[in-house]
Structure 1
Amino acid sequence: MPTRAVALAAALSLSSPAAPVAAGDFSLAWPVDCTLGQDCFIEDYVDQDPEPGRQRDFACGYNARDGHKGTDIALLDFDAIAEGVAVTAAAPGLVLRTRDEMPDDRLMRGVTDQTACGNAVLVEHADGWRTLYCHLRLGSVAVAPGDIVRPGDRLGSIGLSGRTNHPHLHLQVSRDGALVDPFRPGAALGTCGTAGDTLWQNPPGYVRTGLFTARFSNRVPGFDEVRAGTAPIDVADPMQPLVVYAIAQEAQTGDRLTLSGEGPEGRIFFHSLVLDAPQRSQLQAYGRKAPDGGWPPGDYLGRAMLTRDGQVIAHRFAHVTVTP
């Protein structure tokens, strides 16, 4: 038997049996040391809409990005990067490749299509399955090619490497080179509907409500400006107002939305409201005029967060740089 097959067989023999799923005996354990709704949430799923410029998740909701090929498990706080939130193997297998040389840089300087995944670990499993773990923190990768891993073994920590401006794990699943949505593995890509079978050993709950976007602007924008792309700003004059806006999709009455901003000298605003009879898409914004003398130069961070019964169901970061 080839060495790789022996290694994979050994890895499988060391794992505990998982409940059978539609895709055979392959299943996934939760790959991040976090608790959904408390310090992390599922931000985006695999995009099931093949039409460019549109997105649908596996349940026909809006919690995906155009062309997105994985499941994004996002953290709520940048400070958690330094604390070290572990990324762990979701299934037994053999480490094929790793990368641990890219800086944690939310501005994504020097990132190309070839390095968009950032620091990463690629694991091969039995029967043609592979899992890819992206955006790991520089210096955190804890495995090397040829290592055998079991579910729960540490692979690295969530970081900001590659094409990302916020801390999250991008988990990508494939079989025989073809992308698979772990929430609907038995269905053809490009379709959505009832979830049915899943690859998850303990399937995380699905929340249809989400935040379509959150950005900085220098005014309270309207829907037409947001759709046209004229509302957001990446660079601001120190005398301009700073406003964070967000679009909530499929929110429910009683959901709480918070909008906040912070800069080099700390928090600049915080606004919390309970949504009352929200529409299918609802735009909310909040901000402040520039203080006397203008905003201090530097990077500013905005946050939009939706909670339901005290649990985080959606969260987005926004960024702007105030120039001197």
Structure 2
Amino acid sequence: MKFAPFLLAGLAVAFAPPAQSSAQQSKPAAKTELTGGPRLEFPVACKIGESCEVQNYVDRDPGPGAQDYRCGTNTYQAHGGVDIRIRDMAAQKAGVDVLAAAPGRVSRLRDGVEDASVKVRGTSAVDGQECGNGIVVDHGQGWETQYCHLAKGSLKVKTGDQVAAGTPIARIGLSGNTEYPHLHLTVRRNGETIDPSSPEPGCGPTRSGQGLWSPKAARAVAYKSGAVLNAGFTAEAVSMAAIEAGALPKPTTATALIAYVRAINLHGGDIQELALKGPDGSVLVSSAQPALDRAKAQSFVMAGKKARAGGWAKGRYVATYVVRRGGKPVISKTFETTL
């Protein structure tokens, strides 16, 4: 995107979800009432709302459509697990541990699949290896958990190992059929995919309970109807690829000053607003996007300006991002930088 003389307007972009792996498509989510099963802990060494978010839940729609367990759009066709997404590739390269969700025995694993976006490698390159590097843990009585898209060479266990809940077993990678670094966790009983957030049949916006999750894990994966994945300031216009790569150039008093936000799981009709204020509280730039034409798995906006003559005044610069749905704010984030 080119700079206007002084104003950089916002931009919204979305991506289509990738096709699913054979492991993820094995069988639809259970439609019968279940009792028992392992109590699952949160399977990633990250903090929801700070360093990671839930991108997708299990698809509960048995037909060609897609619905998550709350009858929402935080899923896609035939998705058979829970996707826990970290912020960007910089975080992935720094290393984020995948943790065993429950005690059990490692029954199967695979390593050696390259960490590269399927957009680069192509789907044919991961045919039969859609899970990428993965681990399956057997919890007994027909229950198992599968961990996909692990980093090549990061597996810390071998077949036959006993693991306790919370044991680091690998790191999040970019292997298999994925466009961004995340853990895909599938839960099965006797080969049938189970939605850990709500094993009961059907879906509903007011469903209660914690499913198979422990109380702490249930709080971590609590349903969000949209969330901010990335927010910050940079010295140049950004793209979705640049945000995904991470490590954007920091602004100084002599560079452009641009605020950016990447949000996930927005709804059709949502309106995104981003405003930037200077140290004196005056609005430097404000941008409101057109209403989204459909639900978006991810979207980004940015707003900023080139450096003023003589440079930016030293002090605190504050950006505020708001998503309005039906005229009401449903997501908001304020962040700042000091020049």
AA partner of residue 138 (structure 2): E
Whether 1:42 aligns to 2:54 is yes
Match of 1:248 in 2: 266
- The secondary structure found in structure 1 opposite 2:70 is coil
Matches within 5 A, 1:190-205: 191-193=202-204, 194-197=206-209, 198-201=211-214, 202=216, 203=218, 204-205=221-222
Q: CA deviation at 1:24?
A: 1.7
Distance 2:34 2:207 in 1: 12
AA partner of residue 61 (structure 1): G
Whether 1:144 aligns to 2:167 is no
Distance 1:68 1:114 in 2: 17
Unaligned stretches of 5+ residues in structure 2: 1-32, 229-238, 241-261, 276-284, 303-321, 324-329
Tell me, yes or no, if the aligned pair for 2:226 and 2:264 is still in contact at 8 Å: no
Distance 1:30 1:161, change over 3 A: same
- The secondary structure found in structure 2 opposite 1:43 is strand
Match of 2:81 in 1: 70
Q: CA deviation at 1:50?
A: 2.1
Q: CA deviation at 1:245?
A: 12
Tell me, yes or no, if the aligned pair for 1:55 and 1:66 is still in contact at 8 Å: yes
Among 91, 101, 119, the alignment partner of 2:102 is 91
User: Deviation string for 1:47-85 (max 9, x for gaps)?
Assistant: 111222x21100000000111000000011111111110
Q: CA deviation at 1:150?
A: 0.4
Distance 1:146 1:56, change over 3 A: same
- The secondary structure found in structure 1 opposite 2:213 is coil
Q: CA deviation at 1:147?
A: 0.1
Q: CA deviation at 1:37?
A: 0.9
Tell me, yes or no, if the aligned pair for 1:98 and 1:122 is still in contact at 8 Å: yes
Q: CA deviation at 1:105?
A: 0.8
Q: CA deviation at 1:181?
A: 0.2
User: Deviation string for 1:292-320 (max 9, x for gaps)?
Assistant: xxxxxxxxxxxxx97934399xxxxxxxx
- The secondary structure found in structure 2 opposite 1:182 is coil
Distance 2:162 2:88 in 1: 32
Match of 1:206 in 2: 223
Unaligned stretches of 5+ residues in structure 1: 1-20, 217-243, 259-270, 288-304, 313-324
Distance 1:25 1:47 in 2: 20
Distance 1:272 1:98 in 2: 50
Among 115, 120, 123, the alignment partner of 2:137 is 123
Q: CA deviation at 1:200?
A: 0.8
Distance 1:251 1:35, change over 3 A: farther
User: Deviation string for 1:95-125 (max 9, x for gaps)?
Assistant: 0011111000112345344200000000000
Among 160, 174, 184, the alignment partner of 2:174 is 160
Whether 1:28 aligns to 2:40 is yes
Distance 1:169 1:111 in 2: 20
Matches within 5 A, 1:260-299: 273=287, 281=294
Distance 2:142 2:212 in 1: 15
Q: CA deviation at 1:39?
A: 1.1
Distance 1:108 1:181, change over 3 A: farther
- The secondary structure found in structure 1 opposite 2:128 is helix
Distance 1:135 1:94, change over 3 A: same
Identity %: 36
User: Deviation string for 1:182-228 (max 9, x for gaps)?
Assistant: 0111x23xx211433411102122112379xxx98xxxxxxxxxxxx
Distance 1:182 1:272 in 2: 41
Among 137, 140, 146, the alignment partner of 1:132 is 146
Match of 2:331 in 1: 308
Q: How many residues align?
A: 229
Matches within 5 A, 1:10-25: 23-24=35-36
Distance 1:310 1:60, change over 3 A: same
Distance 1:23 1:135 in 2: 29
Match of 1:223 in 2: none
Distance 1:171 1:256, change over 3 A: farther
Distance 1:127 1:64 in 2: 28
